[in-house]
Chain A
Amino acid sequence: MGSGGVVLLILLGALGWALIGVLGRIAGWRAGRPAKVDWLAGLLALPRRYLVNVHEVVARDRYASTMHVMAAGGLVLALLLVVLVHGFGIASPWLAWPLLLACVLTLLGAERVLRRRADRPPRLSGGRWNRFGWAIGGFALGLAWFTLPATGVMADPGLLHPVSLAFAALLAWSAFELADGLAHGPMRHALAGALNLVTHPRAPRFSADRPVAAIHPIDLDAPRLGVETPQDFAWNRLVMADACVACGRCEEQCPAFAAGQPLDPKFVIRAISMAQGADHVDDRHYAGRRWPGLERRVGEGGAARPLVADGGLIPPAALWACTTCRACVEACPMMIEHVDAIIDLRRFQTLELGAVPGKAPAALAELAAADNIHGRAAARRMDAFVDLDLPLLREVESTDLLLWLGDGAFDPRGQRAMRAFVQVARHAGLELAVLGEEELDTGDLARRLGDEAQFQRLAEANIATLARYRFRRIVTTDPHVLNSLRNDYPAMGGHYEVVHHTAVLLELAEEGRLKFQPGEGQAALTYHDPCYLGRWNGEFEAPRRLLDLLGPGRVEMARHGRTARCCGGGGGAPLTDIPGPRRIPDMRMADAKATRAGTVVVACPNCAVMLDGVTGDYPAVTEVAELVLARLAVPAERVAA
């Protein structure tokens, strides 16, 4: 038997082994809930999603990017050529040489994989991932040896030659290691990753314009609300979890993880993946970092066992430490949606178990009673604004710009920013109207705390109210409101053009309707991106352009834009209040202080409260509209209320 036949034999064997594993894995995915998938569109979009969207994220880490191009590119090329050279036995140097080159490329990639592993950063998982480089390298080396005869540089030494035997053994081990990994190990990322790109539940995130980051609604009449076991996830979400490459980029970005709260977004995804493949499994062999503060914890679960429980694979505290800031999602090269998973898991905890911690149950109870989390009478929403004589939509019936006050209207910090915005807008001659006591909480917080029922109730009520009036756009100072109305309401039947007040202020400034004091000599400032304006809605530039119109001296924090660190105020985290050794807002203010700017500018009432609450020697916290008001050429105090 020629040595080429050996290659064929090994590869067919490995392929068979892989097939058995993958079929098992597919059976696991199929146990998930059904999902509507547009296969044709997904398949057509695959190349672009891979080459553009995935590449954009991967390329942020140059080393990893080169590594992956070499290892994966070499391997894919080698596998294609190997079918011709060894499968069909076409021993042409025209094919053999490229195959050899592909092997060399793979080998160089494998070297980079191993080099990175030599001094493994803690975010990378160990375990089987530590063997991955050896398997790829071994595979490339073995393949190369058996391809040399076809290139003509040496005669086939025969299978019984000791060297050939050694290479055959190497090739066999590595091929089976990779094949087995396709279902149960690192190679799974290739299969599940590609499939994830095809069947991704958030197709809009791949579009070139602004992302639409809606949370998927659920049917409140379903027998089980939210996700309890892996099988409660839609099947494509199970595929998504399997796509994880355990690179830990999410972990690096997670503000809760950095604060030492027991949340590790990577472990959340790995836990789902781990659990779906077995009837019963525990995490003792998990090779990544563990929940901060709960390092000795052992969790267990399975495809049909609860994921979130005291002894489960995911500790409840992990779920409730999440600020839903999407930093993990933004960092993920595999396009995994960690926050969606967390929301699904929260929904079961909230709607089926009522197991919401901290002050969140009280807030949800207030919301049920008063339609706002502060438990105030609806009429009180206007208290802070009576002297501004804002027209009520109920009286004027139509307006160009509807100002949505949001629940920040009940909070003195939020009120200041809103008042400032109204004053500036009026100064520029803009007409605004409000809903007044007809406005209810958008349901944003309820939805993020898993209380989908309240979200849907509030959304329906607000949509019915809005249907009675005519307006062109809705403006709000609260990115959470913006996100809710813009992204969450369409699925409920409400379609609106929603703008953030920074965008309106920028319009006014660029139209020359706002005149500012000379900007020279002002102390430096730095802009803190609100998660729900930035990552959730892709708006990074308008606030910055607005600030630059006020004068020079804007500096950036090391983490800004897509990688900005959350203030800690999202997703109901201040209410669930999961303790940790550090506080997220303290860390963010330290980020701001490191820029040496005198002021950190915020554009969200939650950020304002969180960052303003940090005591000590830190930059001042100013809301964009407050800053604009203070910098108007006409002294702010002369701006008629």
Chain B
Amino acid sequence: MASTDALFQPLTIRRCTIRNRVMSTSHAPSYGKDGMPQLRYQLYHEEKAKGGIGLTSVGGSSSVAPDSPAALWNQLDIGEDKVIPFLQEFSERVHRHGAKIFCQITHMGRRTRWDAENWMATIAPSPLREPSHRSFPKEMEDWDIRRVQQDYAAAARRLKEGGFDGVEVLADSHLPGQFWSPHVNRRTDGYGGSTENRSRFTLELFEQVRKAIGDDMVFGIRMSGDELLDDGITPEEAIKLARIHVGQGCIDYLNINCSHVYTERGLANLIPNMSMPVAPYLALASLIKREIGTVPVFHAGRIPDVNTAARAVAEGHVDMVAMTRAHIADPHIVNKLREGRVDDIRQCVGAGYCIDRIYVGGDAICIQNPATGREATLPHIVPKGQGGKKVVVIGGGPAGMEAARVSAERGHQVVLFEKAGALGGQITLAGKADWREGLNGITRWLQGQLRKLGVDVRLATLATVEAVEAEDPDIVVVATGGHPNLNEVKAQPGHVVSTWDILNGTVAPGENVLLFDDHADHHGPSVASFLVKRGSKVEIVTPERKLMVEVGMTNFPHYLRDLYKSKAVITPDTRLTEVYPEGNKLVAVLVNEYTDEEEERVVDQVVVEHGTLPDDEIYFRLKPLSRNLGEVDMRRLRDRLPQEIVRHPDGRFMLFRVGDAVACRNIHAALYDSLRLCLTF
């Protein structure tokens, strides 16, 4: 325990004492409703406060002005007074559990869309196009500068009235940072040119914010310590900027990150995924802290475990360590650490599913914790139930492990059959694709919980009807997953192989490989990366208009980098229809999705990714023996109510299917299926 002691030393900034050094930085979970932090948003953060976190900073990129639309990722709109009652309710909710609450406010400048919400032109120091949102901004004139500064100050005042402990201005890549970065600021007036001139906008701004909030409230900034751009903010420039602004005396802390978010590649670097090492930018934050020294430094950036967090603080690199995604995976990290239950912490694996979802228009949910963002209806700690039932789970993939875990937490006696020699199912398979190895952390946690809960896990055991009946179960959950679907391409058996075959090693990678990706998720590109790293020349073909439509911004740039570096060929808008042999080669027939024009490739190997079909044999054998004949009341499932359908009163057990045994989906869907179903057992 001693090694994590450093995390439990409170930090006092002005009159705000944060109980420990663990925080969650402001981010946009896309839970805002009408620009307001309503129940879902509040409960999401309250859970972290309940879980012992020191500081939760909310409202990533909360809007201060109409031309910085909050609607984009369902952000918060702090630009109007009507938000104040919501803020008051929110801060009380977090304070109740002893945590502190800050909020970020921002004007996104050019980093937003002109066609969102109010349809106003985006603004920037200079009229340079922003690549990520494809916006052409208006060059700010004097009254733009004035009104935006006033908007910031007014928003900060609203937070103070809302009972918040602190306010954070997001500098990096947003309007303040756009003034700072020579990459964006080409002005020739008093707001451009030298570092001092580029700082003029923010110096004026910070003074107004401090004046609006008075002396008690904490005020800090989040800035990039290195934009990783040739003409951007370098570490030297960042230190200079930090020194100028800290020296002004208005700001109380520096929240340091790295990279920029003008492009998708920049964002993928800013929010490191599982292909990157743990805490990749800690040294940068440490540098700023050493150079500035007078104010606390906060830092986020793939710090998934308490040991890394403790080291970051104990060695003096940073003052507050942000475990933002780590708290999405497990909002109770601090309590578990305090209680000596480190093994129970569900550690973030860095899949980036949470953040990726908001960039494809969804809400932030955790790949491995279905309760996150659903606090109103799903508990993070499964409540003990009546127990007393015998539950048989068939299959040890994510759906099966979660079903077993939740059933056991409810107090039931659980037997889990897994035909393979280890738990994990398709997670294990996906984890074989090089840097996706981190996914195995999901299995590791679930497996540890099953061991603690005393679930009878029977590995290398095929569940037959007899074996299931021998257990005399009250409930049977079929979580058998599926098998690769190769039916949609016309070919003789053996002429096409699945992505599973490649990852499992049952088929050696060929020299010239055509990979047909009709899934648009991680499967295709991760297997393509796997192939190129083993020396294959790969063409990846997809009927979509680009690769990886379903893969978000923290992941696809890494795949593209790997593929382009290895000279892989990417062919969009094209479908593989047929494969036939010719000599010792294979001919792959490709059809353009828009012209129906055919072309052929002569290759050594054709790999097809087209999802899975359910392994449902045992389900259909058990179905006639069950009370409900496998039927699910969908409304009751949605509303987390117990399933009560009886179609066959003589049946001995209730029978349910979960995960890919129903239909091909993903890890989160599998876990969510099981959690909401088994909570009612």
Contacts and interface: CB of A to CB of B under 8 A. Distances in A.
Interface stretch (B94-102, B421-429, B487-495, B627-635): B94-102
B333 to A, nearest CB: 14
Given A384-B8, A386-B19, A641-B98, A412 B1 contact: yes
Nearest to A413: B340
Nearest to A380: B9
B97 A412 contact: no
A360 B340 CA distance: 25
Contacts of A387: 19, 97-99
Contacts of A388: 98
Interface in A578-602: none
Contacts of B17: 386
A641 B8 contact: no
A612 B340 contact: yes
A153 interface: no
A40 interface: no
B98 A412 contact: no
Interface string A255-280: 00000000000000000000000000
A387 B338 CA distance: 14
A637 interface: yes
B50 A416 contact: no
B338 A383 contact: no
A411 B4 CA distance: 11
A411 B338 CA distance: 9
Given A383-B10, A641-B98, A415 B338 contact: yes
Contacts of B99: 387
Contact of B50 (A380, A382, A411, A637): A637
A416 B335 CA distance: 9
Contacts of B19: 386-387
B183 to A, nearest CB: 42
B339 interface: yes
Contacts of B96: 640-641
Nearest to A410: B5
Nearest to B9: A383
A413 B8 CA distance: 13
Nearest to A419: B338
Contacts of A640: 96-97
Contacts of A383: 8-10
A416 B10 contact: no
Contacts of A386: 10, 17, 19
B396 to A, nearest CB: 24
A522 to B, nearest CB: 10
Contacts of A411: 1
Contacts of B339: 412, 416
Interface in A384-418: 384, 386-388, 411-413, 415-416
Nearest to A423: B98
B216 to A, nearest CB: 16
Nearest to A415: B338
Nearest to B11: A386
Most B CB atoms within 10 A — which of A380, A386, A411? Answer: A386
A413 B5 CA distance: 12
B53 to A, nearest CB: 10
Interface residues of A, number: 16
Given A383-B10, A386-B17, A641 B338 contact: no
A640 B10 CA distance: 19
B237 to A, nearest CB: 37
B14 to A, nearest CB: 15
A407 to B, nearest CB: 14
Interface in B81-125: 96-99
Interface string B46-85: 0000100000000000000000000000000000000000
Contacts of A415: 338
A423 B1 CA distance: 24
A411 B339 CA distance: 11
B481 to A, nearest CB: 33
A626 to B, nearest CB: 9
Interface in B1-32: 1, 8-10, 17, 19
Nearest to A389: B98
Contacts of B98: 387-388, 641
Contacts of A384: 8, 338
A37 B34 CA distance: 84
Nearest to A376: B5
Contacts of A416: 338-339
B123 to A, nearest CB: 41
Interface in B488-505: none
A413 to B, nearest CB: 7
Nearest to A626: B339
Most B CB atoms within 10 A — which of A380, A387, A416? Answer: A387
A380 B10 CA distance: 9
A382 B98 CA distance: 14
Most B CB atoms within 10 A — which of A413, A415, A641? Answer: A641
A641 B9 contact: no
A580 B98 CA distance: 45
B343 to A, nearest CB: 12
A641 B1 CA distance: 24
Nearest to B381: A637
A387 B8 CA distance: 11
A382 B50 CA distance: 20
Contacts of A380: 9
B415 to A, nearest CB: 20
Interface string A605-620: 0000000100000000
Nearest to B17: A386
Contact of B8 (A412, A612, A637): A412
Nearest to A635: B383
Nearest to A641: B98
B97 A641 contact: yes
Interface in B528-570: none
Nearest to B1: A412
Nearest to B12: A386
Interface in B631-653: none
A386 B8 CA distance: 10
Contacts of B8: 383-384, 412
Contacts of A641: 96-98
Contacts of B9: 380, 383
A383 B98 CA distance: 13
A268 B441 CA distance: 56
Nearest to B47: A637
Interface in A409-445: 411-413, 415-416
A606 to B, nearest CB: 15
Nearest to B337: A412
B326 to A, nearest CB: 19
Nearest to B97: A641
A384 B339 CA distance: 12
A68 to B, nearest CB: 50
Interface string A350-389: 0000000000000000000000000000001011101110
Contact of B338 (A382, A412, A612, A637): A412
Interface string A167-179: 0000000000000
A383 B12 CA distance: 11
A15 B402 CA distance: 86
B319 to A, nearest CB: 15
Interface of B: 1, 8-10, 17, 19, 50, 96-99, 338-340
Given A412-B339, A640-B96, 6 more contacts: A383-B8, A383-B9, A386-B10, A386-B17, A412-B8, A415-B338
25 contacts: A382-B10, A383-B9, A383-B10, A384-B8, A384-B338, A386-B10, A386-B19, A387-B19, A387-B97, A387-B98, A387-B99, A388-B98, A411-B1, A412-B338, A412-B339, A412-B340, A415-B338, A416-B338, A612-B340, A637-B50, A637-B97, A640-B96, A640-B97, A641-B96, A641-B98
Interface of A: 380, 382-384, 386-388, 411-413, 415-416, 612, 637, 640-641
Q: Closest 4 CB pairs between A and B?
A: A387-B98, A641-B98, A387-B19, A386-B10
